[in-house]
């Protein structure tokens, strides 16, 4: 069984989720991230799903919970690299992951996290005034 590696880069925790995750590894990742947030004071979490071939309702819910609990601990979460087939399947399944910020790839994810950390969650879509 392979656990999801979590690497700290500056004040961001980066988790690269592997191809086909066992439930226990997913639950371990959730606990590990919360633990690391507490001990490192990291301000951001980047979940890289670029090699993940399947997200079912269990994993989808867990991703939502990671984002929600990270927010409560003062950190922003961005999910990056979701494959088109996975995204389509999730929506059909009925899970649009509301409240979870996403970016196309790791670079865009880091850029989004930088802005989220700087602005405390209030980031307007690019090119539009924030209205706040």
Partner 1 sequence: MAAELRIEIAGEDGIVAARQRARDTARRLGFGMVDQSRIATAVSELARNVVRYATDGRGEAIVRELESPDRGVGLEVVVRDEGPGIPHVALAMRDGYTSGPGLGMGLPGTRRLMDDFAIDSAPGKGTTVTIRKWHR
CB nearer to partner 1: pick between 85 and 111: 85
Binding site for partner 1 (CB under 8 A): 20, 22-24, 53-58, 61, 83-86, 88-89, 92-95
**What are the backbone angles phi and psi of residue 126, rounded to the nearest 5°?**
-55, 135
Helix (H) or strand (E) holding 12: strand 12-16
Q: How far is the CB of 86 from partner 1 (least distance, A)?
A: 6
Q: How far is the CB of 79 from partner 1 (least distance, A)?
A: 16
CB nearer to partner 1: pick between 61 and 114: 61
Sheet of 12-16, strands arranged across: 6-9, 12-16, 44-48, 76-80, 101-103
Distance, CA of 107 to CA of 71 (rounded, Å):
21
CB nearer to partner 1: pick between 51 and 119: 51
Q: How far is the CB of 37 from partner 1 (least distance, A)?
A: 24
CB nearer to partner 1: pick between 75 and 86: 86
Distance, CA of 116 to CA of 17 (rounded, Å):
22
Q: How far is the CB of 72 from partner 1 (least distance, A)?
A: 20
Neighbouring-strand partners of residue 9 = 12
């Amino acid at each position: 069984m392979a656990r999801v590696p979590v690497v700290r880069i500056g004040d961001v925790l980066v988790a690269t989720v592997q191809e086909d995750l066992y439930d226990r590894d997913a639950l371990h990742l959730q606990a590990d991230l919360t633990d690391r947030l507490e001990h490192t004071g990291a301000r951001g979490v980047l979940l890289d799903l670029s090699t993940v071939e399947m997200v079912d309702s269990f994993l989808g819910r867990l991703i939502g919970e990671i984002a929600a609990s990270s927010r409560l601990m003062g950190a922003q979460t961005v999910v990056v690299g979701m494959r088109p087939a996975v995204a389509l399947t999730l929506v059909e399944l009925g899970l649009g992951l509301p409240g979870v910020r996403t970016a196309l790839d790791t670079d865009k994810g880091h850029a989004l996290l930088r802005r989220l950390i700087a602005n405390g969650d209030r980031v307007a879509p690019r090119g539009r005034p924030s209205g706040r």
